[in-house]
Amino acid sequence: MKIKIRLKLNTWISLGALVLVILTFAWSIGEVNRAERNVLLVDEIRKASYERIYLRDDHLLNPNEQTKIRWYAQSETLRGLLESADKRITGPEDRILLQDARAYFEATFSSFSTILEKQKEPTEGKKLSVDEAEPTLISQVYRNAYALNASIVKLHESSRRAAIAVRNRVIIILILFVVGIVIAIALNSIFISRVVTKRVAALSRGVEIIGGGNWDFRIDERGDDELSDLAHASNGMILKLKESQEFAESVINTVREPLISLDQDLRVVTVSRSFYEFFKVKPEETVGQLIYDLGNKQWDIPKLRELLETILPQKAAFDGFEVEHDFAGIGRRVMLLNARQIQRVLGKERIILLAIEDITERKAIEAGLETTRKELAAIKIAADEVSEFAENIINTVREPLLALDQDLRIVKVSRSFYEFFKVKPEETVGQLIYDLGNKQWDIPKLRELLETILPQKASFKNYEVEHDFAGVGKRIMLLNARQIQRVLGKERIILLAIEDITERKAIEAGLETTRKELVKARDAAEASNKELESFSYSVSHDLRTPLRSIDGFGQALLEDYQDKLDDTAKSYLDRMRKATQHLGRLIDDMLKLSRVTRSSMHYESVDLSAMVRDISENLRREDPARKVEVIIREGVFVSGDADLMRIALENLINNAWKFSSKEERPQFEFGTTVKEGKTICFIRDNGVGFDMAYVDKLFGAFQRLHTSLEFPGTGIGLATVRRVINRHGGEVWVEAAVGKGATFYFTIPGFGQPDPGS
């Protein structure tokens, strides 16, 4: 029976007993009351009986009607009381006494009634005589009355006794009940406590034994109460614990890496099999030893000491500590140490689990692996890129591209192929190339290339195929093919590039014609250039010679025949000489212009400022009388041909000099401005200027805006300037107004930073 039920039973018994006691108590009170009511009734009977006797005796002494009536009434009362007593009194002796009393009552009643009847016969006024039969009757009355009284007294005493007896009985019963209940509860409690104490003690003992390390002990599970359940559960738990302990141990012995457990004094408690094997030590020289003393103190490593004695007590664990050490027997090794400090549950001490992993090889392999991994990653990236690149190329190239398998069926097609041949992917991929687009590719030449040449040479290049293609017409196609061994698959694929060179061929033909024409033109130009060169040479040499003669002899004439010539003749001669000299200058200028055009350019850093200064100094020397205000910006450098630049500047400065010659205060300025990031040079004078309407004529050869009388000149200078600037790839322009001077601007690509070296 379960303890819980026992405890419940105790409660129920107590409650039941209490109810019983209450019922018994109620019943007892009822009994006592009934007994006491009987006592009162009998007492009343006794009183009524005494009253009746008084009335009888009173009547006998003084007979009158009143006493007689009162006696009868009293008799009736007594009869009633006796009858109610007959209903209530149950005791057998009392009932006999009551029967006796009733019988005596009836006897007295009849006897005295008879007496009372006889007294009615004498006449009125006459004294009643009680002699004759009366004495007998009276004695009968007295006897019976006495007996009645005796019965009633007896009944009275008996009822009193009965009442006392009832009371006593009730008390005894109550006492007995209480005592019985107390005993029952006490007994039950004692039983429970005895059972529980015994079983708990057994359980506790069992747990202690198991805790002491005897994992095979089983706690007694007999019984059907909670404690046996507890014992059963404990046994199950211990079994599980044992299993996990065994599992842990087998893990320790199975793991490849050496494992040892140490107690808190760092002595070896258990050692895995692999530890023995790895460090070549025996159990008997290991267990119980200080770890530092193991195998000729080879574990006495400062790093390990630090880990076990400093770090572990603080952190309870350490992971992945690498220790490089020269171990006796196995040589220099890199060990990876992991440790955990474990608080033993049942014992007070701590144990330390220390796992030792030899990562010497692993480190080496890891280093190698990392290198390999990086290389692989690089290769993969490269491969991906290449693959993507290839895909992109196929789809990007303008020329149609086909990939065929070894059966010459189409595997892949570039977008441009579809566009060019106006075919759709679904009617292309998987087809035999010869069947494409109504067999328009079934060309003997292509068959030969793909089936004969390609298997032999793995590629062919620039085969021209002329064919009438459906949809695109007669075309010349340039075929290039390459047979590729697929890296991953076994099969080969053929890449076939098709280029439509129809137009190109036509263009090439046209180009060839044009090229030939160009060559011809170049040859002609070269010839004419040579001609021009010899022409210039002739001009420079041969045209000037006669001029010199004319001028020379004209002068001779003037000198030698001065007195024979009149003024007109002298003036004519003078004009002849002037014309000759002008023609000489014209020739010179033309030669310059032609030289500027023909001469080869030699680029160098040219100091324009210095050049301008030099030219203007020369001009000043030639005509010292003229006072020209000269402003020169210093440090203007340009990359150009020095000779040509000098020719250009000479022309521009000469012009400035010349056209400002009529000013009162002639000014000349050389400077630079910057416009749109370009350096622009200018040469400004405050001379006569010109009308911008004629600006177009200004730079043409032999174009003049002034008469020779106003300003001498050949009209070639600015043409030369423009040619020089143009040859440098630059521009020259002018801004001017009549009477307000002119500003010539030029810019060439060679304007750069001032060159301090030059």
534 binds another protein (CB under 8 A): no
Nearer to another protein (CB atom), residue 140 or residue 597: 597
CB of 420 to another protein, least distance (A): 59
Question: For another protein, which stretch binds (CB under 8 A), given 163-171, 433-441, 573-581, 626-634?
Answer: 573-581
Nearer to another protein (CB atom), residue 465 or residue 547: 547
544 binds another protein (CB under 8 A): yes
Scan residues 594-653 and list those touching another protein (CB under 8 A). Answer: 595, 599
Question: For another protein, which stretch binds (CB under 8 A), given 68-76, 475-483, 490-498, 580-588?
Answer: 580-588
- Out of 591, 632, 642, 692, point to the residue binding another protein (CB under 8 A): 591
CB of 538 to another protein, least distance (A): 9
- Out of 91, 223, 295, 584, point to the residue binding another protein (CB under 8 A): 584
Task: Give the count of beta carbons closer than 10 Å to the beta carbon of residue 471.
Answer: 11
Scan residues 68-127 and list those touching another protein (CB under 8 A). Answer: none
244 binds another protein (CB under 8 A): no
Helices (H), 397-468: 415-421, 436-439, 444-448, 454-457
CB of 725 to another protein, least distance (A): 20
* Number of residues in contact with another protein under rule CB under 8 A: 27
- Out of 545, 571, 618, 758, point to the residue binding another protein (CB under 8 A): 545
Nearer to another protein (CB atom), residue 60 or residue 583: 583
714 binds another protein (CB under 8 A): no
**Neighbour order of strands in the sheet with 459-469:** 410-413, 401-404, 492-500, 473-485, 459-469
Nearer to another protein (CB atom), residue 196 or residue 591: 591
536 binds another protein (CB under 8 A): yes
328 binds another protein (CB under 8 A): no
- Out of 296, 395, 529, 549, point to the residue binding another protein (CB under 8 A): 549
Tokens, residue 455:
């298997």
Closest by alpha carbon to 312, among 290, 345, 339? 339
Question: For another protein, which stretch binds (CB under 8 A), given 74-82, 198-206, 542-550, 624-632?
Answer: 542-550
- Out of 75, 580, 743, 747, point to the residue binding another protein (CB under 8 A): 580
**Residues with Cβ < 8 Å from 750, sequence gap 6 or more?**
603, 638, 639, 640, 728, 730
Tokens, residue 651:
């022309």
8 binds another protein (CB under 8 A): no
**Residues with Cβ < 8 Å from 76, sequence gap 6 or more?**
none
Nearer to another protein (CB atom), residue 269 or residue 558: 558
CB of 723 to another protein, least distance (A): 17
Nearer to another protein (CB atom), residue 544 or residue 633: 544
555 binds another protein (CB under 8 A): yes
* CA 63 – CA 188 distance, rounded (Å): 79
561 binds another protein (CB under 8 A): no
Question: For another protein, which stretch binds (CB under 8 A), given 334-342, 445-453, 584-592, 675-683?
Answer: 584-592
547 binds another protein (CB under 8 A): yes
Whats the size of the chain, residue-wise? 758
CB of 751 to another protein, least distance (A): 26
From residue 317, give the alpha-carbon distance in Å to each of 195, 309, 342, 490, 746: 48, 12, 9, 56, 86
DSSP run (H or E) holding 386: helix 360-396
Nearer to another protein (CB atom), residue 585 or residue 706: 585
Closest by alpha carbon to 498, among 453, 456, 467, 458? 467
168 binds another protein (CB under 8 A): no
Ramachandran area for residue 422 (φ above 0: left; ψ -120 to 50: alpha; else beta): left
Tell how strand 603-607 and strand 637-641 pair up: antiparallel
DSSP run (H or E) holding 180: helix 134-211
**Neighbour order of strands in the sheet with 629-632:** 629-632, 667-675, 678-685, 742-747, 731-736
CB of 736 to another protein, least distance (A): 32
* CA 148 – CA 105 distance, rounded (Å): 6
548 binds another protein (CB under 8 A): yes
Nearer to another protein (CB atom), residue 178 or residue 550: 550
Tell how strand 629-632 and strand 667-675 pair up: parallel
Residue 34 sits at the vertex; the CA angle it makes with 28 and 40, to the nearest 5 degrees, is: 140
Q: Is the dihedral of CA 307, 308, 309, 315 positive or negative?
A: positive
387 binds another protein (CB under 8 A): no
**Residues with Cβ < 8 Å from 252, sequence gap 6 or more?**
259, 270, 272
Q: How many helices (H) and strands (E) in the chain?
A: 21, 17
Tokens, residue 407:
């059966």
Interaction site with another protein (CB under 8 A): 536-537, 540-542, 544-549, 551-556, 577, 580-581, 583-585, 588, 591, 595, 599
